[in-house]
Amino acid sequence: MQEVQEPQPQSTLGQEDADEVFDESSANDKGETPEELLSSPPKVDSEVEVLHEKVTKQIIKEGHGQKPSKYSTCFFHYRAWSENTEHKFEDTWQEQRPIEMVIGKEKKEMTGLGIGVASMKAGERALLRVSWELGYGKEGSFSFPNVPPMADLVYEVELIGFDETKDGKARSDMTVEERIGAADRRKMDGNAMFQENKLEEAMQQYEMAIAYMGDDFMFQLFGKYRDMALAVKNPCHLNTAACLIKLSRYEEAIGQCSIVLSEDEGNVKALFRRGKARAALGQTDAAREDFLKARKYAPEDKAIARELRLLAEHDKAIYQKQKEIYKGIFGPRPQPVPKKRNWLILIWQWLVSVFYSFTTLFKREKNKSD
């Protein structure tokens, strides 16, 4: 897979392997910002679709492509509430861990959720309402105390994507090589979508690839297998960060880069992209720290030097602006401006003095004659 690359011949960033996309532009494309963690189900005005007598769906965001078939392995995020109390009892977005479900082999308490997911397309987000019969039943949930007996459920679900398989083979049933291979194929699909500027779709592919490389899986790997897995997983995080920067979702981009840096503190691309995101948020000191660390590992890179120069120019502009603001406060004391004379008042004062002089003289002459 050929690397996605901007025309920057003087920069070595992104040129080390062909599996990682490369986009260091500061594009101002505005994407959807992630929703705040909801304490109650979202309000949706779209048409209600009846999927089953016990399951309904309202689309929040349209998806694309085909719907999963039976035994497809689906990856999705969701939030779940007890409908009557509106108590949220699970949130995979908050946990940053997507759910894996094989359609037709889901747990009993997720039967209604499975019906809803099977009706969705990749990238689609929907609100599902599931009656208690296809949820946690008469007993409610022991694991989730917020789910009482006979509780109807509300789900906000986003289908990241799915793998079509004939036998419904889950990740846990795959060999190490199969899981790494499946993740690598997703990464390659994501790179192809990035080249077409389909950023949201590309991120879905990267997230599915990362789902194959979960923490429980990585914890078991050593030696060459761990190196093989990281060679797929880390580029997916960095590619996702590149997409997020183009979509101006800088906080999320910082998070993706930080995951890579927790494994490889000297990763130049992670430092560079995190610095770009921090600079865009106005976190200039933290951005400079990232760029200086990146320059330590890649001292000749022109892109890093350019970003440091831009930060220096920004600091200089801020200093000049502050200097102008405080110039009047700390400059020399202004000289008092002489007041203009009022000639009418001067004439009046002269007349009063003349009158006073004549009066004094008259009194003296009178005293002499007496």
Instruction: Answer yes or no: do 179 and 302 share one domain.
Output: yes
Instruction: Answer yes or no: do 66 and 146 share one domain.
Output: yes
Q: How many CA atoms lie within 13 A of 230 on its CB side?
A: 16
CA torsion sign, 95 to 142 to 150 to 54? positive
Of 163, 190, 209, the residue at which a domain comes to its end is 163
CA torsion sign, 162 to 165 to 168 to 173? negative
Q: Is residue 103 part of a domain?
A: yes
CA-CA distance, 216 to 213, in Å (whole number)? 8
Instruction: Answer yes or no: do 190 and 270 share one domain.
Output: yes
Residue 247 structural domain: 172-317
Q: Is residue 142 part of a domain?
A: yes
Q: Is residue 282 part of a domain?
A: yes
Of 163, 187, 205, the residue at which a domain comes to its end is 163
Distance of CA 298 to the CA centre of its chain: 27
Instruction: Answer yes or no: do 302 and 255 share one domain.
Output: yes
Q: Is residue 11 part of a domain?
A: no
Instruction: Answer yes or no: do 250 and 282 share one domain.
Output: yes
Q: Is residue 126 part of a domain?
A: yes
Q: Domains in the chain: how many in total?
A: 2
- The 3-state DSSP class for residue 260 equals helix
Instruction: Answer yes or no: do 214 and 298 share one domain.
Output: yes
Instruction: Answer yes or no: do 178 and 312 share one domain.
Output: yes
Instruction: Answer yes or no: do 194 and 285 share one domain.
Output: yes
- The 3-state DSSP class for residue 350 equals helix
Q: Is residue 217 part of a domain?
A: yes
Per-residue pLDDT of the chain (370 residues; tens, 9 = 90+): 333 443 333 454 644 344 566 554 433 333 343 444 457 899 999 999 999 999 999 999 999 888 998 888 899 999 999 998 888 999 988 877 788 888 988 889 999 999 999 999 988 999 999 999 999 999 988 888 889 999 999 999 999 988 876 555 677 778 889 889 888 998 999 999 999 999 998 998 898 888 888 777 888 888 888 999 999 999 999 999 999 999 999 999 999 999 999 989 999 999 999 999 999 999 999 999 999 999 999 999 999 999 999 999 888 877 777 777 766 565 556 666 666 666 777 777 777 777 777 777 767 766 666 6
Instruction: Answer yes or no: do 58 and 189 share one domain.
Output: no
Instruction: Answer yes or no: do 178 and 300 share one domain.
Output: yes
Q: Is residue 346 part of a domain?
A: no
Q: What pLDDT score was predicted for residue 242?
A: 95
CATH number at residue 202: 1.25.40.10
Residue 160, judged by CB atoms within 10 A of its CB (0-12, 13-18, 19+), counts as buried
Instruction: Answer yes or no: do 235 and 285 share one domain.
Output: yes
CATH number at residue 66: 3.10.50.40
Q: Provide the residue count of the chain.
A: 370
Q: What pLDDT score was predicted for residue 217?
A: 83
Q: How far is CA 6 from CA 13, 199, 327, in A?
A: 10, 16, 44
Of 131, 146, 163, the residue at which a domain comes to its end is 163
Residue 256 parent element (H or E): helix 250-263
Q: What pLDDT score was predicted for residue 4?
A: 42
Instruction: Answer yes or no: do 191 and 304 share one domain.
Output: yes
Q: Is residue 100 part of a domain?
A: yes
Q: What pLDDT score was predicted for residue 359?
A: 74
